[in-house]
Chains A and B, each alone.
Chain A
């Protein structure tokens, strides 16, 4: 009976197509879910893929960024080396107008206080530096004119003298320090004077004891006279500023040093034995002085 009913239902449904429609509906429903799942899966895969790509890209970006940083560092290094090379090349080409050998040194410290001026350099007695050796420098300054054209001017002049030496460092007394005194002359006229660091104007040494016969002008060149036994003669010192005062017996003026000490990086020390060596070193006697002592003369006579 049951079989007959089942057969009848199947026959009816097959004839009316209800089974097929139901199957089709079920299939479409399933497809819908399948599609949804597939979409979900696709999305998931895409997310996973994209994450993978992102991490790859991130790594790649990091590597590139590091490379770029390195390149930038390299660029800066190259630029620095280029500038240093230029500077050293100029320094090598540059021949000071003295016949003495020159020791190059770098500045490691400057001016501990505003009242006192001292420069410390990185060369000492191990490199042959002795007290009272004259110190020179050359300095490149860039001047920009009204049209925006930059021109480089090389200044050259004295910085000061060595006052204290240790094995690996030395102290320089700059000409603008209040204890500095340098024998100078006016290049145009040849009159002698004294350049004193004890000046009312900060950083501008004072030119003193210039004869009233000289008419000083702004911009007059001042050079070393070579009379004090420290500096060789005719080394540039600076230029007279517009502050010139005529006193009763002498006239004085302020001098702008050829070298801007505050922007100094390297200096040159002239390896020069002093003329009055004996006075500076007390009992120790230089070979030159020794030749003139009685013992030396006797030794020569023998």
Chain B
């Protein structure tokens, strides 16, 4: 159990480094959200608690990267801690909720699920940004979130198989034990 959690932790960090350090996957200024893909992958296979925690950790890393504590006083730049945590944890929770009722190892299912979850994550992130920051350009929904979701969904077809090959999730526990 501990080994599995260590593996998940390593996977989260590797996904984070892939997201922030590699521009290999960048297409037209849009890069895929590897942390979201990992969250969805684990939440579908292992349930909502895994999804929530991995989503939380992934969002936390992203928030830390954005620089939560910015200049105090007259600063007009302030990223609130949780802007990325909430959408990712929500996606993890939803993924776990839907896990029982979807057919796994099906390309179309993966594509649809990842696309919908990416859209949900994008919209929640957009709303949070609009509430807690300055107003956001609504065109971002079309110019950033939609292409990113499509890219995530397409990449998930390959990426989930790769993840299954490298870190196959152990047998899902029953809810009683958990």
Contact = CB atoms under 8 A, between A and B. Distances in A.
A210 to B, nearest CB: 19
A108 interface: yes
A114 interface: yes
A155 B148 CA distance: 29
B77 A173 contact: yes
Interface string B128-148: 010001111101100111001
A280 B75 CA distance: 8
A273 B31 CA distance: 36
B134 A262 contact: no
Nearest to A164: B67
Contacts of B126: 115
Given A110-B23, A113-B84, A280-B73, A262 B29 contact: yes
B137 A178 contact: yes
Q: Which secondary structure dominates chain A's binding surface? A: loop
Contacts of B140: 115, 178, 200, 202
B30 A202 contact: yes
Nearest to B29: A203
A170 B11 CA distance: 26
Contacts of A118: 65-67
Nearest to A180: B77
A181 B77 CA distance: 10
A113 to B, nearest CB: 6
B140 to A, nearest CB: 7
A48 to B, nearest CB: 46
A112 B144 contact: no
A198 B137 contact: yes
B30 A114 contact: yes
Specify which of A108, A109, A202, A279 lies most central, judged by the most chain B CB atoms within 10 Å of its CB: A202
Nearest to B138: A200
Of B62, B66, B70, B137, chain A has the most CB atoms within 10 Å of the CB of B66
A114 B144 contact: yes
Interface string B70-99: 111111110100001000000000000000
Interface string A150-173: 000000000000011000000101
A198 B20 CA distance: 21
Interface of A: 108-116, 118, 120, 131-132, 163-164, 171, 173, 178-179, 181, 198-203, 262-263, 279-282
